[in-house]
Amino acid sequence: MRWFRGAVFGAVLLLGCASNAQQKAQDGAKALAACDMRTAHQDFSDAYSMDSNDPQIALAFALTDLTLLAEDPALETLRPRFGFTKPFDTTFLWEKGGFMDLASQKTTTCGTLGDLAQANLAHPSIAKTNPTPFLDTLDKTLTFGDLRDVALIEPRSRADGKADRMRHYRLKRRHAIQQSRASAFT
């Protein structure tokens, strides 16, 4: 987590005189340094909306977006079909004292990380007592088509407009990743 925060913060600091988008990205870097991933992601998303041609902003947006991917509403629809018993909350991964923070410390043991994962991932296959084999927790009607439908850039329309918001963020994520890949080779 330290290298991730450092990389994003360093990229933002290298921006020089700050435009509105760069100032917003700097706000995101500050939120990231405070282990507030959701605020950082929102700030980087806003900055990317203001300037989608800046490769550092695109990279910061893409990295924070990937970090929060497990909470994506499209993936949430599959969660119970894979046997998870409560919604995903990635906070335990990136908060201070969380998985990434502990994993970066030389004194942390695998047992400590395993206990943290057990406490935060509600799945019967990692239960401390009487764990259920993973394959037994899968919904027997789950198909590759179900997985494909979630992975599509343009999800099916929904009456509440959620699909439009999901499509917008997926397109932004895709464009940001393409921008960061392009900047890596220039």
Give pLDDT tens digits for 4-32. 655 555 555 554 566 898 999 999 999 88
**Range name among 30-34, 93-97, 151-155 with the lowest pLDDT average:** 151-155
Provide the b/e sequence for 88-127 (b: ≥16 CB within 10 Å): bebbebbbeebbbbbeeeeeeeeeeeeebeeebebbeeee
Mean pLDDT of the 31-39 span = 85
Tokens matching residue 11: 């990229």
What span, in angstroms and rounded, lies between the C-alpha atoms of 148 and 171? 16
- For 25, the token pair is 């990205």
In Å, the largest CA–CA distance within the chain is 58
pLDDT for 83 beyond 90: yes
If you average pLDDT over every residue of the chain, what do you get? 79
C-alpha 71/C-alpha 140 separation (Å) is 23
Q: For the chain, how are helix, strand and coil distributed in percent, rounded to 5?
A: 65, 0, 35
Instruction: Supply the pLDDT for residue 32.
Output: 84
The mean pLDDT value for 147-169 works out to 55
For 66, the 3-state DSSP assignment is helix
138: confidence class by pLDDT, cuts 50, 70, 90:
very high
* pLDDT at residue 159 in the model: 43
157-166 contacts, C-beta under 8 A, 24 or more apart: 162/73, 166/72, 166/73, 166/74
**Could you tell me which residue, 42 or 93, shows the higher pLDDT?**
42
Tokens of 23: 């100032």
CB atoms within 10 A of CB 21: 20
pTM of the complete model? 0.58
Query: What number of other Cβ atoms are within 10 A of residue 14's Cβ?
Result: 8
Helix (H) / strand (E) element for 34: namely none
94 vs 154, more confident: 94
Residue 75 has pLDDT above 90, yes or no: no
Instruction: State the residue for tokens 């084999």.
Output: 133
